[in-house]
Amino acid sequence: MKITILAPVALLGRSPSSAIDLTSSAFFGHDLRVQFLDQGPPSIEGAFDEALAVAEIVAKAVQAEAEGAQAVVIDCVLDPGLEAAREKVSIPVVGPGQAAMHLACLLADRFSIVTVLRALAPSLRRRAEVYGLASRLASVRAIDVPVLALLEGREACAAPLAREAVLAVENDGAEAIVLGCTGMAGLAAPVVDELRRRGLPRIPVIDPRNAALAVAAGLVGMELTHSRLTYPVPGVKAVTGCAGL
């Protein structure tokens, strides 16, 4: 199964291997291709960054479909360009935020998101509202580490991430935890360990990239994709300055 993981950022001198780690996704056993933007922000940390990235996200999704991808995962919990890409391509396009939030609601009544920066909280709350899950969202907490710093020192973020997850359960009423950045790949296990150490076993901790990959693979396997009534094909018209569209 061919799945393109579309990182909605420009590398800006970083190597793909340092910018995205697929080791936690290796168990899927599919043909995973990572695709970055040619131009755009170095990270997505709010609505402004999203706006800078969306046109090329859609163009890269179109390219992935043309090159034989069977599904696209947009590698950001804010799901930038998700609806626009679905309008433009026929293959499944999955957002980690949507996939992880819905998975949390399959496993628990209420969930909290623990993300990188407090500034992301409004965007994440709006996403939960768009997905019809606002009443199930207990809280959005943050470890106050920028995305790029997280990528450079992920292991150092395990302890503050676990601390905020414990507070989300004990103080906010969360019954499941969603990691609020795909750059947190591999950090679910230490969070689970800390919850157990605090006497809070069997609290689901969801890696959003893995959730999105699982949903994407499931949709391809079931031969399902998004509804054209919900995501109609855009009309044909001249577009200025957007290569590939």
Q: Identify whether the C-beta of residue 245 lies closer than 8 Å to the C-beta of residue 62.
A: yes
* Domains of the chain with bracketed CATH: 2-95+210-221 (3.40.50.1860), 97-208 (3.40.50.12500)
Tens of pLDDT along the chain (245 residues) come to 999 999 999 976 555 554 566 656 655 678 889 999 999 999 999 999 999 999 999 999 999 999 999 999 999 999 999 999 999 999 999 999 999 999 999 999 999 999 999 999 999 999 999 999 999 999 999 999 988 888 777 788 999 999 999 999 999 999 999 999 999 988 999 999 999 999 998 999 999 999 999 999 999 999 999 999 999 999 988 777 776 67
- Closest by CA position to 162, among listed 210, 101, 203, 102: 203
In whole angstroms, what is the distance from residue 243 CA to residue 239 CA? 9
Is the pTM for the entire model greater than 0.85?
Answer: yes
